Amino acid sequence: MGLSRSRYSLTFPSDDEGKVVFFSAKTAAAVQLPAQLVDGMAGGSLDAGEERLLVELGLLVPDIEEERREILSFTSELEAQAETFHLIVFVAQQCNLACPYCYQGAEKGSARLTAETSAHLVRFATTTAFDRGRDLKITFYGGEPLLALREILRLAEQLQHAAAARGRTFRFSFITNGTLLTREAASLLRPLGLRAALVTLDGPAASHDRQRPLRNGAGSFLRILANLQQTWDLVDLQINANYSRETYREYPRLLDDLLAAGLGPERISAINFSPITWERRSPVFTGGCRSGNEPWLFAAAPFLREETLRRGFRADKVRPTVCMVDLAHELVVDCDGSLYKCPCFVGEERFRVGHLTSGVQGRAEAYGRDRWRSTECLACPYLPLCFGGCRYQVYQATGTAAAVECKRPFFEACLERLVVQDLAYGPAVTKDSVP
Amino acid sequence: MNRIIVLAPKVDKKEILMACCSGTKVRVAQG
């Protein structure tokens, strides 16, 4: 039927001689097949059933121009299919930790989500999500969001009522340092819609306590670990660990410490590692990497992922990845009700896109919404895995968020290893699979 | 004998990684 190989497909060597792994960056599907089949695809060496299978998996396409159009409409298709509206809500600017690398700086404000802003948020959620047949998911963020527990309880209760009155659902999660995620707090929040918490642990105790001390200088590791032990049955717990070139080799010990503390893959649903980045805006912090393509990351990222997976923990799979800036049903709300498209730019006027009372206005050119729709990006086999990459990362490097953060060097160096890891470890243990 | 072995199925659109997950600063909890 005149098929072409997808522009967003890659082949990697297989352990089986004469065979290759054929992977789609567009669908994350992978097959193993004889190498000569890939070479001979244009010559029609596949039978009809094989052709149908590879088309279904997105590895072959009937029309390369149609595939281009499909990729160009990828984000609008996601928007059209979205059943859930997602808000990241800044509930408190304050934090009880003093992490030297914090991108929000050492001196934080004292603002919290007021009763007035909460009321605006309920009205906004009702008209933008519930009345349009969509559910609502909020990710509470800060500062440390659990410093505003009272404000969150008030808002969550109001949103539960608003959702129920229209036959919709409301659920929420936290990005939290974990120091205040007690069983008591989780028990109060669970009936109001708490589902997940993403907790930061920067390596084993010594490394973590150096990078994430309490404001009085004391360590926070043991307190967080105790909270995780007390809440895993109430909240879907996920861990993110920020590493540096100097510290990442110690991080497998964090995984062993979690296992020794009874926090195995049946209690922690995902562990991911992120490199600490250099901060353009920080007057004091000068460490961290300036690009996701620094060569040491090509060793560090697959190494940490391998250590995670081989202990049975789950990490994010390689799959299509879209920045929230490119999706209309994803927004960020600051304490004062201002709307943004990315949490990293909150407080910067040129990245503000509206207010809860007036909705989103304009296209927010500062974010460069069409930056990946270039000939170069559309021809890149890795495009669906990055869609232009992280705007904050490129802002750090260049001073503009409207440029592409090209991840091609990283993918060229690491993708094969990451895909092979996913295939080798398969579906990991999840909470749902444990009786 | 099948010449093609499916090692990983294609992901559902709902499983596409959203929000800041690709970034390094804020990884949104999935749930």
pLDDT at A70: 96
Give one DSSP letter per residue of A315-357, joined into a string: -PPS--B--GGG-TTEEEE-TTSEEES-GGGTT-GGGEEEETT
pLDDT tens, residue by residue, A373-398: 999 999 999 999 999 998 988 898 89
pLDDT at A432: 46
What percentage of residues in chain A have a pLDDT greater than 90? Answer: 82
Degrees to nearest 5, angle at CA A49 with A43 and A54: 70
Phi, psi of A321 (to 5 degrees): -135, 125
Contact A175 B4 (CB under 8 A): no
Tally Cβ neighbours within 10 Å of residue A106. 14
Tally Cβ neighbours within 10 Å of residue A319. 20
Contact B31 A81 (CB under 8 A): no
Kindly list the residues from chain A whose CB atom is less than 8 angstroms away from the CB atom of residue B7: 21, 30-32, 423
Edge-to-edge order in the sheet of strand A19-24? A9-13, A19-24, A30-34, B5-8
E-strand stretches of A118-169: 135-142
- The answer, for B12 touching chain A at a CB cutoff of 8 Å, is no
- The answer, for B1 touching chain A at a CB cutoff of 8 Å, is no
Which of A23, A31, A84, A334 to probe the B interface (max B CBs under 10 A)? A31
pLDDT at A427: 60
How close is the nearest chain B Cα to the Cα of A396, in Å? 11
pLDDT at A261: 98
Kindly list the residues from chain A whose CB atom is less than 8 angstroms away from the CB atom of residue B12: none
Cα→Cα distances A363→A283, A344, A396, B19, B27, Å: 31, 18, 22, 18, 24
Contact A240 B15 (CB under 8 A): no
pLDDT at B24: 54
- The answer, for A138 touching chain B at a CB cutoff of 8 Å, is no
ipTM over 0.85: yes
Contact A29 B9 (CB under 8 A): yes
Mean pLDDT of chain A: 92
pLDDT < 50 positions in chain A: 428-435
A240 close to A274: Cβ distance less than 8 angstroms: yes
A233 close to A276: Cβ distance less than 8 angstroms: no
Contact A28 B10 (CB under 8 A): yes
How close is the nearest chain B Cα to the Cα of A63, in Å? 19
pTM of the predicted protein model: 0.93
Contact B7 A195 (CB under 8 A): no
pLDDT tens, residue by residue, A37-79: 887 776 668 999 999 999 999 999 999 999 999 999 999 999 9
Of the candidates A236, A274, A321, which has its C-beta nearest B31's C-beta? Answer: A236
* Torsion sign, CA atoms A342, A81, A427, A322: negative
pLDDT at B15: 78
pLDDT at A283: 67
- Residue given tokens 């991911």 in the structure block: A272
